Structure formats: C-alpha cells, structure tokens
Structure 1
C-alpha cells in the first residue's frame, strides 16, 4: 500500500514539474521579445541616420564613425557597433523562439543565452497552466519519472535478491 502511495506521489511530482516546462519556455520567449524591442528602440535614431546617408546600412554608419576625424565619433563607434551587434543577436534569438515547441525547447537546452536563462529562472513564478501542451508535458514527465524510478528500484531489488525466498537464494548460490 505504501508503495502505491509513493508511486502516486512520484507521479504527481513529475506532473507538477512537467507542467512548468511550457511556462518557462514562454517566459524566456517574452523576455527575449522585450529585450529585442528595447534594442530596436535604442537603434531607432541610428537607423534613421543610416537610412538617410548610408542606404539603411548600419554597418556602413559604424564604419564611418570609426574612420571619422572627430574623436567623439570614433569613441561612439564602439558603442553603436555593440548596439547593432546586440540587436542582430536578439533578432536571431527571437526568431529561434518563434519556431515550433520542440525547436524552442531544443534552443533553450543547447543554444540559449545563459544570462537571459538565469534572469528568466530567477523571475519565474511557478504556475500550473491548463494549456494542452502543459498537460501533455506534465503527463509525459510524470510517466517518465514514475516508470524510470520504478524500473530502477526493480533492478536494484533484482541485483540484491529482494523478493526471493531463502530457498531460491540458496539454490542460486550452490
């Protein structure tokens, strides 16, 4: 009976952990989107200047700043270059987070920005979503966790002879 309750508790734990996955992925995507919008806003004036004088090429604007005779312009070239690079990177990150759910999850697991992941995790509020993908993740996680732990315990019991009577053990050791 205790074993059945432990199985149910393990299943419930897996279910609760599994339903967090879609919420976390969604929060990370929203964080990337917010950073992307802020980045685009900070480049707005530079984009207009590049449109007027460099056929909308921000790299040409940065190159112009770098070779300028004005030391202030040369100094600003690095800052503008960093803004342009960050905007490009955030656009790629945003694109990755707009794909299918398995692509988003793979991106989070393999190529997501560690800083954004950490900030998202620190700000994440545990939630139970009743969206179909959250329910699917919850059930899959619960079944995986419960069955893998049960198999692990059964293998452990088999290796150490639990569940065998004394005569069966003696027969195997002769």
Structure 2
C-alpha cells in the first residue's frame, strides 16, 4: 500500500513540474519580446538619422561617427554599436522562438540566452496552466518519472534478491 502512495506522490510531483514547462517557455518568450521591442525603440532615433543621411544604413552611420575626430561622436559610436549588437542578438533569439513547439522547447530548455534565462527564473511565478500543451507535458513528465523510478526499484530489487539467493548444495546422504 505504501508503494502505491509513493507512486502516486512521484507521479503527482512530476506532473506538477511538467505543467510548468509551457508556462516557463511562454514567460521566457514574453521577456525576449519585451527586450526586443525596447531595443528597437532605443535604435529608432538612430535609424531615422540613417534613413535621412545614409539610405537607412546603420553601419554607414556608425562608420561616420567613428571617423569623426570629435570624442562625443566616438562615444556615441560605441553606444550605437552596443545597441546594434544587442538588437541583433534579441532579433535572433526571437526568431528561434518562432519555430514549432519542439524547436522552441529545445531552445528554451537547452540553449537559452543566459541573461534572459536568469531574468525569467527570478521573475517566474509557478502556475498551473490548463491548456492541452501543459496537460501533455505534465502527464508525460509524470509517466516518465514513474516509469524510471519503478524500473530502478525493480532493478535494485532483482539485484538484491539474486545476490541473496545462493545455490543450494545437494547433500550426499
């Protein structure tokens, strides 16, 4: 009876962890999108200047700032360059999150942007989403953990029992 309750407890715990996956992925995606929009807004003034004087080429604007002897322009060039690099990284991250559910899940769980991952984990609120994707993740995680633990316990039991069994010696009477 105790083992039945233990199985239920393991399954329920894994189910609750599993239903967090879609919520975490959604939270991560929203964070990336918010940073990307903020980055676009920060570059908007420079883009307008590039449109007006350099046919929209931000790299040409950057080269113009760098070629100036004015230290203020050189400092602004560094700022523009850091904004461009950050924007490109966020745009790339956003594109990865537009793939199918498996690509998105793999990326967020295995190869996320470290800064975004840390921010998402710090701000994440545990939630139980009752959407098909979360239910599937929960049941899948519950079944996998229950199967893994059950298999491990059976394997241990088999190893212990087989070690206890010693061959019976026949006596010569």
- In structure 2, the residue matched to 1:156 is 156
Residues 106-157 of structure 1: CA distance to partner in whole angstroms, max 9, x if unpaired? Answer: 1123321111101101110000000100000000000000000110111111
For the residue of structure 2 that corresponds to 1:171, the secondary structure is coil
- In structure 1, the residue matched to 2:58 is 58
1:171 to 141, 164, 167: 167
Q: Distance in 1 between matches of 2:168 and 2:159?
A: 13
- In structure 1, the residue matched to 2:102 is 102
Distance 1:70 1:172, change over 3 A: farther
| Matched pairs, number | 170
Please tell me the root mean square deviation across aligned C-alpha atoms, in Å.
Answer: 1.8
Alignment partner of 1:142 is 2:138: no
For the residue of structure 2 that corresponds to 1:43, the secondary structure is helix
Runs ≥4 residues deviating over 3 A = none
Q: Distance in 2 between matches of 1:172 and 1:56?
A: 89
Q: How does 1:17-36 map to 2 (within 5 A)?
A: 17-36=17-36
Q: Distance in 2 between matches of 1:50 and 1:112?
A: 32
Give 5+ residue unaligned stretches, structure 1.
Answer: none
Q: How does 1:75-154 map to 2 (within 5 A)?
A: 75-154=75-154
- In structure 1, the residue matched to 2:14 is 14
Q: Distance in 2 between matches of 1:25 and 1:147?
A: 25
Q: Distance in 1 between matches of 2:42 and 2:169?
A: 76
Give 5+ residue unaligned stretches, structure 2.
Answer: none
TM-score relative to the length of structure 1 = 0.93
Alignment partner of 1:37 is 2:69: no
Q: Distance in 1 between matches of 2:75 and 2:47?
A: 18
Distance 1:30 1:173, change over 3 A: farther
Q: Distance in 2 between matches of 1:130 and 1:141?
A: 15
